[in-house]
Amino acid sequence: MTGTAIISALAIWAAGWFINARLANSAAANTRLVRLLVPAIFGLTLLIMWELLVRLLEVSPIILPPPTMIADRFANEIPTLWADFVQTIVKGAMTGYIIGMLAAFGVAILADRSDFLTRGILPVGGFMAALPIVGIAPIFVRWLGSDWQSKAAVVAVMVFFPILVNTVAGLRDTTAMQRDLMRTYGAGYWPTLFKLRLPAAMPFIFNGLKIATTLALIGAIVAEFFGSPTVGMGFRISTSVGRLALDMVWAEIVVAALAGSAFYGLMAWIEGRVTFWHPSQRK
Amino acid sequence: MKSVLPVLTVIGAILLFWIVSVVPMNMHLTADLAQRQDIVVTPDTPVARQEYSGIGLALRNPQLFGMTYTLERPRLPSPHQVVVEMWNTIALQNITSRRSLVFHGWVTLSATLVGFVIGTGLGILLAVGIVYNRAMDMSVMPWAIASQTIPILALAPMIIVMMGAIGIQGLFPKAVISAYLSFFPVVVGMVKGLRSPDGMQLDLLRTYYASPAQGFWKLRLPASVPYLFASLKIGISASLVGAIVAELPTGARAGFGARMLVGDQYGQPLVTWAALFAAALTAAALVGFFSLVERWTLRRMGMQAV
């Protein structure tokens, strides 16, 4: 039985790999279709192997549920998953993300007027961005209660530093020549900021905003491990793990993955709209 | 060196903000405590005090300012309380004691380092495979990039339980979480690094009649070193966060995450704060160590950081 399982899984792997190797080395390898098809086939191969191995080796679903079981659970629990999504992503992560972003922009623009402050904020902010800030979650849950407000606060602090550092660095990115040009036009501080320096900083700012999307989701989910109302993705993950309902945990992880990619994709799309002039966006 | 003064100013401003915040944050607790010690407090009932914000109450009771800094269980401890707690639990305890932060730090750090070494090693191997095999590149690379946009940390509780169910406990499940958190940044960074030599340099090697193996060892691998260090610094802090979070949902009994949870559940904020700052110091030390090695290595190789 074990032998059959392993041989059939290897056969599927070999088949998937054969198709991909042929596709990747064919003349059509650079077409859009093949570029999407190859990773899709790879993912599908892994899923089929997973399903097959779990079923044939009779792995207990409390260790690893098969993908079909997860998909089934996902389809049946959409109302619960949606409620968790709204609680964690929309209320916790999004609110915190917007607060942290606005605070970072505010501090960056204030600090930007002084070269002294800028030189202080860049290293300190970069240092803070590398720290395990998610550890403040228990403190914030105690201060602000277990509902989404404490999650939003954790997220705001987590996203603040990467966005701040990137905004401050971006505002310094104009050349002396460009600033002199603005001066010859008689532009003061604010016109220079809005017409030259902020647009020039946009590629940096969006870099920070994109890094922060993942951090926001991590902060909102992990903060719920420290206390939450009876709804939310982190709550559902920790209670389902406790009940050994791993198919539900996987369903939440699918939601988290979809939300993370969508959030990142949204920021990348806005970036494309805002910084269409930048070399990295040219097609 | 010229940024020392600005950095100190910014840190000073943050500390000052913290110290000033201690008064309003702890005012309600302090007022309750002071009343029990027969100190005159205005207004004189806890219910009436709830009407006021922390700042409002502080302005009416300036005589209590000093007490807000010495509470045993403050809402917001003052910096000196955190420092004292850290000194007591790091320096004054036997390092094998459960009350020692060094003991808990080592539990977290050992899992972090084991996971980091595994994750980095596998990441570099996969990156080499991706650079040399087109099918692998097209199959795996989109998933590696996409994985950076999803909160894979959410997998942590499940991995602990999954491995617990098949009888693996202790350091290894945490190391697995650390490993996969450091794995993807290293893959993405190393692929970029191994591809960084431009056509001119590759052509030069071809004119030397260099074999592919020589091309790898003498050009691609050295060229990837600055990218490797950039990924290592991201990877090690991700590994540490992974190990800490791995200790949270399962009620681990040792480690920084366990200390944070214990302090939270038993109403000992100083324990949580000390663990938090010790974790921050550990992260800073790890990143700082890699920055030093990076600077030394790149100087020896005559390269620039990316």
Q: What is the per-residue DSSP string for A33-45?
A: HHHHHHHHHHHHH
DSSP label at residue B219: I
Sort out which chain A residues have CB atoms less than 8 A from B161's CB and list them: 241, 244, 246
Provide the token pair at A117.
Answer: 């402050």
- Distance between CA atoms of A210 and A248, rounded to whole angstroms? 28
**Contact check, Cβ <8 Å, A38/B135:** yes
User: Within 10 Å of residue A264's Cβ, how many Cβ atoms?
Assistant: 21
pLDDT tens per residue, range B157-175:
888 888 877 877 778 888 9
What is the amino acid identity at position B123? Answer: G
**Exposure string for A93-128, b = 16+ CB within 10 A, e = fewer:** bbbbbebbbebbeebbeebbeeeebbbbbbbbbbbb
For residues B137 and B130, is the Cβ–Cβ distance under 8 A? yes
- DSSP-assigned states of every residue in A143-166: HH-SSHHHHHHHHHHHHHHHHHHH
Nearest Cα of chain A lies from the Cα of B75 at a distance, in angstroms, of 7
> Residue A282 pLDDT more than 80?
no
Cα torsion angle, A237, A239, A244, A245, sign: negative
Q: Is B21 on the interface with A (CB under 8 A)?
A: no
- Distance between CA atoms of B10 and A124, rounded to whole angstroms? 8
The CA distances from residue B232 to A178, B121, B241, in Å, are 36, 11, 14
> Residue B16 pLDDT more than 90?
yes
**Would you give the distance in Å from CA A283 to the centre of its chain?**
25
Residue A259: the pLDDT is 92
Confidence of residue B249 (pLDDT cuts 50, 70, 90): low
Residue B252: the pLDDT is 65
Residues 150-209 of B with CB under 8 A from A: 150-151, 153-155, 157-158, 160-162, 165-166
Residue A269: the pLDDT is 92
**Would you give the distance in Å from CA A226 to the centre of its chain?**
21
Q: What is the mean pLDDT of chain B?
A: 86
Give which of A135, A121, A127, A160 is closest to B285, Cα–Cα. Answer: A127
> Residue B142 pLDDT more than 70?
yes
> Residue B190 pLDDT more than 80?
yes
Nearest Cα of chain A lies from the Cα of B63 at a distance, in angstroms, of 25
DSSP label at residue B247: T
Q: Chain A interface, mutation test: which of B109, B149, B177, B281, most A Cβ atoms within 10 Å?
A: B149
**Which residue is listed with tokens 């059959």?**
A4
Q: Number of C-alpha atoms within 13 angstroms, CB side, residue A215?
A: 30
Angle at B184 between CA B179 and CA B188, to 5 degrees: 145
What mean pLDDT is predicted for residues B52-56?
A: 80
Provide the token pair at B112.
Answer: 């972090």
Q: Which residues contact B55 (CB under 8 A, 6 or more apart)?
A: B24
- Distance between CA atoms of A71 and B55, rounded to whole angstroms? 52
What is the amino acid identity at position B289? Answer: F
**What is the value of ipTM here, to two decimals?**
0.83
- Distance between CA atoms of B100 and B78, rounded to whole angstroms? 21
Nearest Cα of chain B lies from the Cα of A186 at a distance, in angstroms, of 31
What mean pLDDT is predicted for residues A52-75?
A: 87
- Distance between CA atoms of B46 and B29, rounded to whole angstroms? 10
Provide the token pair at A15.
Answer: 């088949």
What mean pLDDT is predicted for residues B9-15?
A: 90
Q: Helix, strand, coil: what percent of chain A each, to 5?
A: 85, 0, 15
What is the amino acid identity at position A75? Answer: A
Residue B129: the pLDDT is 92
What is the amino acid identity at position B272? Answer: T
Q: How many CB pairs under 8 A join A and B?
A: 171
User: Within 10 Å of residue A145's Cβ, how many Cβ atoms?
Assistant: 12
**Which residue is listed with tokens 């987590």?**
A158
